[in-house]
Amino acid sequence: MTSRRFLLGFAALAALALGACSSGGDEDTIRIYTGRHYDLEEAFTQFAEETGISIEFLEGSDAELRERIAAEGEDTEADIYMTVDAGNLAQAAEQGLFLELDSPILEEAVPEALRDPGNQWFALSARARTIVYSPERLSPDEVPTTYEELASPEWEGRVCLRNSSNAYTQSLVASLIGSRGYDGALEIVEGWADNAEILSNDVIALNSIRDGLCDVAITNHYYLARELEEDDTYPVALQWADQDGNGTHVNISGAGITRFADDPELAQQLLEWLATDGQSAFVDGNHEYPVNPDVAPETLIATTFGETFVADSTNAAEWGRLNADAVRLLDEADYE
Amino acid sequence: MTAAAPTQGGTPEGQRVERSAGDRASQLGWPVVAFVVATLAVIPIGFLAVSVLDPNVEVWRQQWRTRLPDQLVDTAVLLIGVSAGSLLLGGGLAWLISAYRFPGSRLFGWLLIAPLAMPSYVLGFVTLSVIGFTGPIQNWWRDTFGQDAWFPEVRSMGGAIVVFTLVLYPYVFLLARAALADQAGGAYEVARSLGAGPFEAARRVLFPLLRPALAAGVAVVMMETLTDFATVQYFGVDTVSVGVFRIWRGTFDRDAASEFATLVLVVALMIIGLERVLRGRARFGEAGGAAAGVGPRRLRGAKAAAAFTTCAVVLLASFGAPTAQLTFWAVEEATGDRGTPLVDRFTEFLQNSLILASLTAVVCVVLALVLTNGPRFSRGRGIGIASRMTAIGYAVPGPVVAIGVVLALVALDDVLEGIGLGLPGVVATGSLVGLVYAYSVRFLAPGLNAIEAGLEQVPEEVTASARSLGSRPSSIVGRIHVPLARTSVLTGAVLVAVDALKELPIALLLRPIGFNTLPVWTYNLATESRFEQAALPALAIIVVALIPVGLLSLQLSRHAEAT
Amino acid sequence: MSDAAPLEVTGLVKTYDDVVAVDGVDLVLRDDEVLALVGPSGCGKSTLLRTIAGLVAADSGTIRLSGQLVEDGSVRLPPERRPAGLVFQEHALFPHLCVRDNVGFGVRDVPKREVADRVAEMLELVSLGSYGDRYPHELSGGERQRVALARALAPAPSLMLFDEPFASLDHNLRVQLRQDVVAALKATATPAVFVTHDQREALAIADRIAVMRRGRIEQLDTPAAVFHRPVDAFVGAFMGEATFLPIETSPSPHTVLGPVDLDGRAPTGATAMVRPDDVSFAVAADGEAEVVAAEYHGSGWLLTARAGGAPPIAVFTSHLAAPPVGARGHLGLVVGHRQVVVADTTEP
């Protein structure tokens, strides 16, 4: 009968399903929940080849993965939680999801501003959120050099910014709160809201400069690097923001070891490798800056944007904790 | 137990052996199963909804002062716009296909449901990339007519409404077409023969008869629009769902986010209520009533060309053009030096997607059959209420369901451990079981609705006859109800499978380590703004989702020929 | 045959919300008997039938089928466990199965060969021997109903239940079909309960008739008794055209039609019932009665006559001698007929 055939089919599917989830249990494996997506494979493969330790990872979005680890608790498979912003790392630390690490290697490799004061998590790559502009339409002396400048009326209708739901926007505003205070930051963001065309991603922002919708934007530096890699005549240039002030805001991709890790030492070995020998493999493919000052950035950004720049020295944990305030500030400023 | 005593003495050979306990069980079975299913469906949302009991007044106040009013307005405008668009497109095209014959009309009848396979987030990013400000179309426009030449703002409420309409109208189209094939079309003909002009006949007869189908279709469209939080962001539309995620991801306040999610739920309940009111007391199908569909008229000349063009333009805009663009990008990437990351694991992603969609479809169809058949075999209104409750998962955004399922399963794990039945490791979360559970909670409603509509067409007397002939309920479902309602059962399965194939946020949060689906693959690239590289996986989703959609198309046309 | 009655209902009650649909019904069916349940719509006859079938749960009371308890306060056998066949007004055939599979549907636990034999036997019984391969939509209304009957009879139920089985058929077909159905029931010695709102049909097919009103059985008797000796005015009026005449008690009991034999019973408010064919009308210029209306019925005329202060009296006369409207004459009782005293039941 049809119902019997149906049951058979269902049984087969169920068997497949069980087969598909019977992974894990392997001792020499590090498992990572990661909100970072790009170039993981390359770096992890290299690590596996060097050490014989294999890595399994689950990609997702930062906030949800953190919720999952918190909910799973002891049962979680995650040895490491990796994100693309400081906010969720700070929140995870606050929720007590991380182990405090005692690692001279990490402390040496990662500058103090880019790690948790309690050594619960460490930044592994730096992504500068800075000013990009059209060199065709702006003469060198017109190019804005600070975040504040973009809030002034002269830029009305000429700025492209990313929406408030985006973590990069939020962390930039959080760092502004950290350096300028809530009211100072509010004034800037309100100016932005008046001036800007709000867009849903950085690539569109860059293309909008190319196509004349705006003259200037704030994006992560590596999006521009990608465009320039494909087309070295791409008509957008980069300006390091706030070089004479607090420095350019750097949002980070970082990681910590969960309290529930099966083998914290193994996981620590991976983080140490990523912060030292693995830095290039981890950051170069996406044109990010290494956090380790001893590691040189990859050629394209080094030659086009410069080897170094003045980065905001506020501790990442501080503006990570200010993320919630930043969201409220964006609400208050009526920033789309 | 008061077992009935079988009497001695020979009764005719038809007498059956007394099995009182079994009867009790079968009597109890339906309500118990329905209750369990409803509970399982409600618990994950319930875990989050309890936060409403202790509202965070501060956050509500702050939101009310800042974004919430605009979000409510945006949500309302979006819902109204997409509903109107879907009604116009879905209802209009259904009428065109059912009432007229023109070159390609039969083929369009098949093809016009293809956009079901197109995830709205894919059409969203293709639209923005191609005709957005920085896309080739507008660049050409500016080169031709000058830098300041006017062009409609694509990244806008209007753009969002158009995109949602283009991918969601098939829900209305499907149901309206089925209704036209049944009584509505015939009644229209009768009205015309009674001297009513086409508009009068449409207004007085056709529309009232189509109303239940249109209401059901629009309700689905509204739910899909309401719970979306990805596509709307491409277009800068700030809905309540977007607000939920801004609060959750930005302020890390899950409780407050849950509270705002219940606001989404309230809007959803309003939609369901509206649908019930609009459907009214109308019944689908009448026993024995010879349902003559509408007799199609042949169009010629300019009218035929206009009809053809209308269908072609809709199909091109919603499916043809974006698919072509994705194919172009995919080929470009494949032949370029970068290549698509992880393309070597394509078959694995494909297999995972297929397993997940099939399991979800099977589970949802089985549950829907249990819930919809319950009232036929058991007294009491409990089952009806229970099956209404299971729709709750469809009324909240996917990630809300997902986090609710995580919390529910962890709680279940704890309970099981508490009574010494501890499951090894993470059976609860991060397993395919949890994933299928969450998918089923989310997508039971569309399957349930389709199957319920089909079962309504089977007269109660048919069920009663089968019972009086000695068939047990389970055997009646298998031998009578499913075969008779097979088109609806297949429709339900297809709607669930297609939704499951396109679903991203639940898989993103709940899947086991190493278990990646096609949408996850697409997301991994799209989230890094590598849209061209995401073209291949996006195309794969569409192609795979076309399989069940095609199956449905085939069955529907067979069904149409049979009646 | 079992020595127990094929159907025994005691004290059956079924209420819907506030409406009492079945109000304490007792009923015993005899072997091989065809019982008709009649009554105006809403009297509870269909509910009673459905309760027997198990489609509706009783509030209280018991039902036994061939002695087997199938329903009381704590036991309720589902329909599939009750050895009763069921036929509806809407034949309710399975549209996706051919005639053969429809008829064979309820025959189980026997070899295929025997199923086929049984199906063939049943189709012969309803004169549809060559229809096995057809589908329900290829059949006429009457044929469908025959298939429904064959399907219900195939598992050899110990009782058949019919819910308005002929209501959707036209008159001639109905007469033919009901004769065939009764013949099939008698041929298989299957007792049956018919629900019908058509009292002529009940009179034609039933061995006994139960007249229901407001959830109760008012009278349960042979067709002749129910028609000619109704227990009250309601039954009398329901079973056919009737005139109710007031009884004068002095000097002796009589009505305008002549003396009444009270037979020792003289309930207050009782009236005398006459059927139109009990009454004669003899044309006479000085007659006390006048024809006020005349209706042609083919086999005769149904006259309405008025005499003095009495209610209008229905009279059936031969088509050969039809007095025109306005004609006068004498009213009387046809030889061998008499007026029947019935209780008044205008109030419950």
pLDDT by residue, tens only, chain C of 348 residues: 447 899 999 999 999 888 889 999 999 999 889 999 999 988 999 999 999 988 888 889 999 999 999 998 777 888 888 888 888 887 788 888 899 999 998 888 888 899 999 999 999 988 898 999 999 888 988 899 899 999 999 988 999 999 988 887 888 888 888 898 999 999 989 999 999 988 889 999 999 999 999 999 999 999 999 998 888 889 999 998 888 888 887 777 888 888 887 766 656 667 888 899 889 888 888 888 899 999 888 888 899 999 877 889 999 988 777 788 888 998 888 877 878 877 766 543
* Residues from chain B contacting residue A204 (CB–CB below 8 Å): 128, 132-134
Looking at the complex, report in whole angstroms how far the Cα of residue B286 sits from the nearest Cα belonging to chain C.
Answer: 11
Are A163 and B359 in contact (CB < 8 Å)? no
pLDDT band (50, 70, 90) for residue B27 = low
pLDDT tens for each residue of A132-188: 999 999 999 999 999 999 999 999 999 999 999 899 999 999 999 999 999 999 999
- This complex has an ipTM of 0.85
Chain B residues within 8 A of C152 when measuring between CB atoms: 465, 468-469
**Residue in the structure block whose two tokens are 């031969």:** C318
Residues on chain B bordering chain C, Cβ-to-Cβ distance under 8 angstroms? 2-7, 9-16, 18-20, 23, 26-27, 287-288, 377, 379, 459, 461-462, 464-473, 479-480, 483-484
State how far the Cα of A255 lies from the Cα of A85, in Å rounded to an integer: 10
> Which phi and psi angles does C161 have, rounded to 5°?
-120, 130
Q: What does pTM read for this prediction?
A: 0.81
- Does residue B286 surpass a pLDDT of 70? no
How many CB pairs lie under 8 A apart between chains A and B? Answer: 175
Residue ranges of B 101-140 with Cβ closer than 8 A to chain A: 128, 132-134, 138-139
The per-residue pLDDT for range B201-227, each reduced to its tens digit, is 777 777 877 888 888 889 889 999 999
**B contact test, residue of C75, C151, C190 with most B CBs within 10 A:** C75
Q: What was the pLDDT predicted at C264? A: 63
Percent of chain B whose predicted confidence (pLDDT) is above 70 = 86
* Structural element, H or E, at residue A80: strand A80-83
Candidates A13, A323, A328; nearest CB to B359 = A13
Interchain CB contact of A334 with B (< 8 Å): yes
- DSSP-assigned letter for residue C76: B
Ordered per-residue pLDDT tens for chain A, 336 residues: 344 444 445 455 454 444 444 344 456 899 999 998 877 888 999 999 999 999 999 988 888 899 889 988 888 889 999 999 898 999 999 999 999 999 999 999 999 999 999 999 999 999 999 999 999 999 999 999 999 999 999 999 999 999 998 999 999 999 999 999 999 999 999 999 999 999 988 999 999 999 988 999 999 999 999 999 989 999 999 999 999 999 999 999 999 999 999 999 999 999 999 999 999 999 998 999 999 999 999 999 999 999 999 999 888 898 888 999 999 999 999 998
- Rounded CA separation B134/B154 (Å): 10
Question: Which of B:436-495 have CB within 8 Å of A?
Answer: 436, 478, 482-483
pLDDT given for residue B71 in this prediction: 94
Distances (CA, A) of C48 to B140, B151, B486, C59, C191: 79, 73, 34, 12, 17
Residue B402 structure tokens? 């997902």
CA atoms of C3 and C17, how far apart (whole Å): 38
pLDDT at C300: 87
Quick check: do A and C touch, 3+ CB pairs under 8 A?
A: no
Chains that touch B (3 or more CB pairs under 8 A): A, C
Report CB contact under 8 Å: A211, B133: yes
What sign results for the dihedral spanned by CA atoms C214, C220, C223, C225?
A: negative
Inspect the interface and report whether the beta carbons of B512 and A23 lie closer than 8 Å: yes
CB–CB contact B513 A24 (8 Å) = yes
Sheet (strand C34-38) strand order:
C84-87, C159-163, C192-195, C34-38, C208-213, C216-221
- pLDDT score for A148: 95
In A205-244, the residues whose Cβ lies within 8 Å of chain B are 207-208, 210-213, 223
Would you say B393 and B441 are in contact if contact means Cβ atoms under 8 Å apart?
Answer: yes
| β-pairing verdict for C34-38 and C192-195 | parallel
Measured CA to CA, the distance from residue A169 to residue A173 in angstroms comes to 6
Is the pLDDT at B381 greater than 80? The verdict is no
pLDDT for residue B291 is more than 50: no
CA distance B377 to chain A (A): 20
Judging contacts by C-beta atoms under 8 Å, the chain B residues touching residue C88 are: 461, 464-465
Bridge-partner residues for C35, per DSSP? C193, C208
Which residues in A lie closer than 8 A to residue B425 (C-beta atoms)? 24, 75, 77
Tell me if B250 and A170 make a contact (CB, 8 A cut-off): yes
Q: What is the mean pLDDT of residues B171-193?
A: 75
Give C92→chain B minimum CA distance, Å.
Answer: 5
Confirm or reject contact between B245 and chain A (CB < 8 A). yes
Among chain B residues, the shortest Cα distance to A32 is held by: B513
Give mean pLDDT, residues B273-293.
Answer: 54
Contacts C3 to B, Cβ<8 Å: 9
- Helices of type H across B254-320: 254-279, 301-315
Whole-number pLDDT of residue A82: 96
Residue (of C336, C130, C308, C342) closest to C227 by Cα position: C342
Mutation choice for C interface testing from B1, B13, B462, B468 by most C CBs within 10 A: B468
The one-character DSSP state at B195 is T
Q: How high is the pLDDT of residue B251?
A: 87
CB contacts of B11 in chain C (<8 Å) are: 2, 66-68, 83, 158
| Residues C158-180 as b or e (16 or more Cβ within 10 Å = b) | bbbbbbbbbebbeeebbeebbeb
Residue B437: pLDDT above 80?
yes
Contacts for A286 with CB less than 8 Å, ≥ 6 apart: A38, A39, A125, A222, B528
Q: What is the mean pLDDT of residues B550-563?
A: 75
Nearest-Cα residue of chain B relative to residue A63: B249
pLDDT of residue C96: 85
pLDDT bin (cut points 50, 70, 90) of residue B494 is very high
Task: Decide: B32 and B383 in contact? Cβ < 8 Å.
Answer: no
Nearest Cα neighbor of A111 from A259, A250, A262 is: A250
C225, burial (CB in 10 Å: exposed 0-12, middle 13-18, buried 19+): middle
Of A171, A173, A127, the C-alpha closest to A150 is A173
Pairing of β C19-29 and β C159-163: unpaired
Nearest residue to B429 via CA among B455, B410, B448: B410
Please give the angle made by the CA atoms of B223, B227 and B228, to the nearest 5 degrees.
Answer: 115
Most confident option among A126-130, B145-149, B473-477, C77-81: A126-130
Measure CB to CB from residue C94 to each of B9, B379, B462 and give the nearest one. Answer: B462
Of B13 and A195, more confident: A195
Quote the minimal CA–CA distance from A9 to chain B in Å: 10
**Please, which pLDDT band fits residue B421 given cuts at 50, 70 and 90?**
low
Q: Which of B18, B27, B462 sits opposite C78 (nearest CB)?
A: B27
Q: Does B257 reach chain A within 8 Å, measured CB to CB?
A: no
Give the distance from residue C195's alpha carbon to the nearest chain B alpha carbon, in angstroms: 15
Q: How many alpha carbons fall within 13 Å on the CB side of residue A250?
A: 29
Report the residue from B14, B464, B480 with minimal CB separation from C79: B464
